[in-house]
Structure 1
Amino acid sequence: MNKNSLGLPIGTTLDRFIKKKQDEFEFATGELSQLLRDIALAGKIINREVNKSGLLDITGAYGSKNVQGEDQQKLDVIANIRFIRALRNGGQVCAVVSEEDEEIVHLNPHCRYIVAIDPLDGSSNIDVNVSIGTIFSIYRRTSPIGGPVTEKDILQPGTEQVAAGYILYGSSTMLVYTTGHGVNGFTLEPSLGEFVLSHTNMTCPEDGEIYSINEGSFHQFDKSIQDYTNWCKDQGMTARYIGSLVADYHRNMLKGGVYLYPNTKKAREGKLRLLYECNALAFIAEQAGGMATNGSKRILEIAPTTFHQRTPFYIGSKNMVEKVVEFVAEKAEA
């Protein structure tokens, strides 16, 4: 037997990968690298909580509503606490904007980074063992370091992100992120407690056969989205909709597809949040060769006006998203 076969390498860990990439930037200080490690650590803790949720009393409703008016689940609250605590203890973040908090969470004013986060996306799936996720965006503050964080620091368009990513808690737990130099994915090796590089330079096919939309709201959609949905059926496409944004997006990025969350008669501005859901995934999508739009404008170019601003959201394979835009434009001109 070859001795080398007795000690096969496990691959590149997230820490090693981050360190290697840090060395590629001449003026890197290590702050962003540490911040990404802090997020990864919190992700491991949430993975532990999710895996034991059926054994402990941490599933079900918490008994209050978040700033969106949505019922909070216990794991929503737990995830929010874990991520904010990890970011505070890591010491690289001056402020956090979270789906679960109405106002800015102020941390260390002497730091340069701001994190916008949905700590646990897919709350309705928590109790039924369906994939859920975390979504995060990282920005540099625009105000002087040491002073108070301002609204202007928070309300930056997605083009100003320095990093973004998501953690998917599913059949395996994955962390996917970009710093604007491609997209890489890391799978958690549970026996080691390490994220290991498993998906290098991830790309999204230009076309696909999957469309993802909640067709239960079909009669609430604008005519353009109704027509597009019917067109997908006429083309023989496959409908796949999990109801967890991270899981639906991740599948479509790998296999090719389009995810749609349009505005409806009940929610004229859309439902998904620009700062801590759409911007992050749009940044990843574009780095992977995909596209993200609100139907008329590139998501990353939308100037936010409020912390919890909502938007229609169409993301995925470039050619498929462009087809959605065609349908929206045709109805707007009619």
Structure 2
Amino acid sequence: MSRDQDAILDEIFETLAALAPEIRASLPGRRVKSDETNPSGETRLEADAYADELIEEALGGIDGVGTYASEEQAEPIDVGSGDVSIACDPLDGSSNIKPNSPMGTIIAVYEGDLPASGDELLASGFILFGPILTMDIARDGRVTEAIVEDGEIDVINDDVTIPDEPTVYSMGGRVPDWTEGFAAFIEEVEQEYKLRYGGAMVADVNQVLTYGGSFSYPALKSAENGKLRLQFEGIPMAYIVECAGGVSSDGTESILDVDPERFHQRVPVHLGNEELIDTVEAKLAAHD
């Protein structure tokens, strides 16, 4: 990576950290639904729209960033002349605002145009709005975890690694909508591991990074590609988990190897310790 791209990445994550306290402070007054839906047909909260506008304005103004895209918008937006593209989920798990549960922001930084594959990913990260405001950044094959205080990044772990012995699992989708293969996987893991599912991908994946285990939003009977979007959630979170020593899969291959065909493309997502992801792939194959 060139020196210029290093500087761009530094500024992107520093800017996002600076925005985090403002996004968090804005949530109490924006818990209501807006009159709009996003391109995936989901009703937007006022908090979704506010976070999206805030992040677009700040990151789009960085020299070197040419494109800003979010799952709240139909198409990528040209914001400059650079060759770096940002794909963002401004408020992952925003439905958790009403019950006051954790949520976060996911960001992926790609080289070139969108949609892009894992090969074009330069870095990714997430902010977790939990009891503590934290940020995880995957870059150059390594994951760092930081506390964000007063908009500043304070690194507390410069080499995040998934524990060797997994203890938790989480999964999305309604049970009647699961495929036979995925139901067989859950039947096996629930005998040994603790269920942790909070409805925000950032929080659930952070549990996996902390305790070891697996996170899945699988292919469903009603939606063969599941719910999560490749550009905004699948690739960036897969990269974080793989950089931390874990494995990602769409059910057959690494999510980083999935070909991007559409901007809002969805993908089944399985993330976690290798032994668990191997198990889910085997169960899915056995019931195919």
Counterpart residue number, 1:6: none
Match of 1:46 among 8, 13, 23: 23
Query: How is 1:203-218 mapped onto 2 (pairs within 5 angstroms)?
Result: 203-214=161-172, 217-218=174-175
User: Per-residue displacement from partner, 1:126-158 (whole Å, max 9, x unpaired)?
Assistant: 1221000111110111xxxxxxxxxxx112211
Counterpart residue number, 2:134: 174
Query: How is 1:230-309 mapped onto 2 (pairs within 5 angstroms)?
Result: 230-233=187-190, 235-309=191-265
Counterpart residue number, 1:225: 182
Q: Distance in 2 between matches of 1:31 and 1:313?
A: 29
Q: TM-score, normalised by structure 1?
A: 0.82
Q: Distance in 2 between matches of 1:124 and 1:175?
A: 20
Counterpart residue number, 2:58: 86
SS in 2 for 1:184: strand
Q: 1:194 to 1:173 in 2, by over 3 A?
A: same
Percent identity of the aligned residues?
Answer: 29
Counterpart residue number, 1:106: 78
C-alpha displacement of 1:43: 2.3
Q: Distance in 2 between matches of 1:300 and 1:181?
A: 13
Q: Which structure 2 residue ranges, 5 or more long, are not aligned?
A: none
SS in 1 for 2:287: helix
Counterpart residue number, 2:37: 65
User: Per-residue displacement from partner, 1:226-269 (whole Å, max 9, x unpaired)?
Assistant: 11111123x33211110100000001111011011111122122
Q: Distance in 1 between matches of 2:139 and 2:244?
A: 12
- The amino acid across from 2:59 in the alignment is L
Counterpart residue number, 1:144: none
C-alpha displacement of 1:207: 3.5
User: Per-residue displacement from partner, 1:12-71 (whole Å, max 9, x unpaired)?
Assistant: xxxxxxxxxxxxx7x412222222222222223212223xx1xx3x11101211100001
Q: Which structure 1 residue ranges, 5 or more long, are not aligned?
A: 1-24, 142-152
For the pair shown, which has the larger CA radius of gyration, 1 or 2? Answer: 1
Q: Distance in 1 between matches of 2:10 and 2:172?
A: 37
Q: TM-score, normalised by structure 2?
A: 0.95
Q: Distance in 2 between matches of 1:181 and 1:79?
A: 28
SS in 1 for 2:67: strand
Q: Distance in 2 between matches of 1:181 and 1:172?
A: 25
Q: Distance in 1 between matches of 2:11 and 2:70?
A: 20
Q: Distance in 2 between matches of 1:75 and 1:186?
A: 24
Matching of residue 128 in structure 1 with residue 99 in structure 2: yes
Counterpart residue number, 1:13: none
Q: Distance in 2 between matches of 1:92 and 1:129?
A: 36
- The amino acid across from 1:295 in the alignment is G
Q: Distance in 2 between matches of 1:193 and 1:38?
A: 8
Aligned residues: 286
Query: How is 1:187-206 mapped onto 2 (pairs within 5 angstroms)?
Result: 187-189=147-149, 192-206=150-164
C-alpha displacement of 1:272: 0.3
Q: Distance in 2 between matches of 1:286 and 1:138?
A: 16
Q: Distance in 2 between matches of 1:303 and 1:311?
A: 10
